[in-house]
Amino acid sequence: MTLEEVKKIIGIRQDQIWLLKAALFAPEQAITYWERWKKYQNLNHITKEDANYSIFSGVDTESLRVLPLIYRNLEHSGDSLLPALRDAYRNTWMANQKLLYRAQEIVRACNEAGIPNMLLKGIPMSLHYYKDMGVRPMGDVDLLVPLEYLESAVSLLASYGNIPDAVEDKYRHLIHAMHCFDEGGVDVDLHWQAFFFQEHQQSNWVFEKKYSEKLQLDPENATYILNDSYQLFHTIIHGTLEGQPTIRWILDAVKICKSPSFNGDINQITEFAAVNHLDYALKVCLFYLKNEFQLSDFPVNTDANSIKEINLQKKFFRLSGEHPSNSMKRTVRMFVRQGIAYDLFYKGLTKKTKFVWLFERLKFRLQQEKKRLINQ
């Protein structure tokens, strides 16, 4: 497995690699990649006087999410686009403050009500690893509670105006999380499982000491977060296999691994991935991080030949990175992908036949598409 082969498997473009390196490498190296990206986007002629956020109007959404971190990395470089990058940073900081405030409210209320709680993804990454609320854009607050506390958590969120999405609420027995919006658009993504491959009724082992640690959210309230090992695992698996192609997982994974206090056990999560039929995805991504982003300090066994369901895992990985714009193609892709998911993750956990399991998910998918079309 070569680096070029892995790039094709992951589906990352060269301009995105330049952008990521501009955000992650030391400033004296990063500026070279930033100049390449600017030239590629035809932005290298813009002066400081004309540099505002609107100059990025032709840039794809995933690339836009990298810009705030580039601002922090290059803010002392004197680059002509710094005013535009500063706009990206400020916009992110302001949007994230609203989400952080809601997270603090909810964690405080959960603690007072005796509901065990864990924050996933954006807020732990921002506070614990980036240590800056302006560099990582977030779309929601990701809150995890044990399944037995789910109804209590739904009621608690409703008191803040966060109401479950009607379709997801109806089909919650098929999924691991549902979005709860308030009238102002603040979204709390309420999880009862941390990972998509967990069956609805599985126990919530991630709260155990082996997988988690405490984060002080404010002077009076703490919540659980995943520890370094499983934060890295969750970042990679969620970023590559949940069905929405993204490059942000690379930023988060590198930041976790380069954290001064990183105490992750790569062998532990490699074994965990193998038990859950995710070793192909994990090994491919760790190989890529190690060889593209100067992460040579941890051992990575990239031998994929011994993986049992290598063909199924490969196909699932590839389909997870595709996101057709056509509604019918998306539905077909979902159906094929979910069929593989049944064989890999759920076959031994559910009493339902594959046909029944897929039919339920097809109904759910059609309801989601119907709602999306109505809301367009």
Average pLDDT over residues 71-79: 96
CA separation for the pair 68, 93 (Å, rounded): 9
Torsion angle defined by CA atoms of residues 317, 122, 288 and 6, in that order, rounded to the nearest 10 degrees: 30
Measured CA to CA in angstroms, residue 134 lies from 63, 94, 239 at distances of 16, 8, 20
Whether the predicted pLDDT of 350 surpasses 90: no
Whether the predicted pLDDT of 305 surpasses 60: no
Question: What pLDDT, on a 0 to 100 scale, did the predictor assign at position 294?
Answer: 81
Would you tell me the crossing angle of helices 327-341 and 354-375 to the nearest 10 degrees? 150
Question: What pLDDT, on a 0 to 100 scale, did the predictor assign at position 346?
Answer: 85
Residue of 30, 8, 314, 371 lying closest to 171 (CA atoms):
371
Q: From the centroid of its chain, how far is CA 213? A: 19
Q: Where does the pLDDT of residue 374 fall: very low under 50, low under 70, confident under 90, or very high at 90 and above?
A: confident
Residue of 276, 283, 269 lying closest to 341 (CA atoms):
276
| SS3 category, 323 | coil
Longest CA span, the chain: 64
Q: Where does the pLDDT of residue 297 fall: very low under 50, low under 70, confident under 90, or very high at 90 and above?
A: low
CA separation for the pair 93, 98 (Å, rounded): 9
CA separation for the pair 362, 374 (Å, rounded): 18
Whether the predicted pLDDT of 198 surpasses 80: no
CA separation for the pair 52, 16 (Å, rounded): 21
Which region holds residue 161: left if phi is over 0, alpha if psi is between -120 and 50, else beta?
Answer: left
Question: What pLDDT, on a 0 to 100 scale, did the predictor assign at position 15?
Answer: 96
Residue 116 has phi, psi (to 5 degrees) of -55, 140
Which region holds residue 116: left if phi is over 0, alpha if psi is between -120 and 50, else beta?
Answer: beta
Mean pLDDT score of the chain: 90
Torsion angle defined by CA atoms of residues 172, 104, 207 and 151, in that order, rounded to the nearest 10 degrees: -30
> Quick check: 170 and 124 in contact, CB under 8 A?
no
Query: Which residues are registered as beta bridge partners of 214?
Result: 224
Question: What pLDDT, on a 0 to 100 scale, did the predictor assign at position 301?
Answer: 59
> Quick check: 318 and 8 in contact, CB under 8 A?
no
What is 9-23 written as a DSSP string? HHT--HHHHHHHHHH
CA separation for the pair 178, 166 (Å, rounded): 9
Q: Which amino acid type is present at position 213? A: E
CA separation for the pair 63, 43 (Å, rounded): 14
CA separation for the pair 293, 233 (Å, rounded): 17
Whether the predicted pLDDT of 240 surpasses 60: yes
Question: What pLDDT, on a 0 to 100 scale, did the predictor assign at position 9?
Answer: 86
Residue 3 CB: number of other CB atoms within 10 A? 11
Radius of gyration of the chain (CA): 21
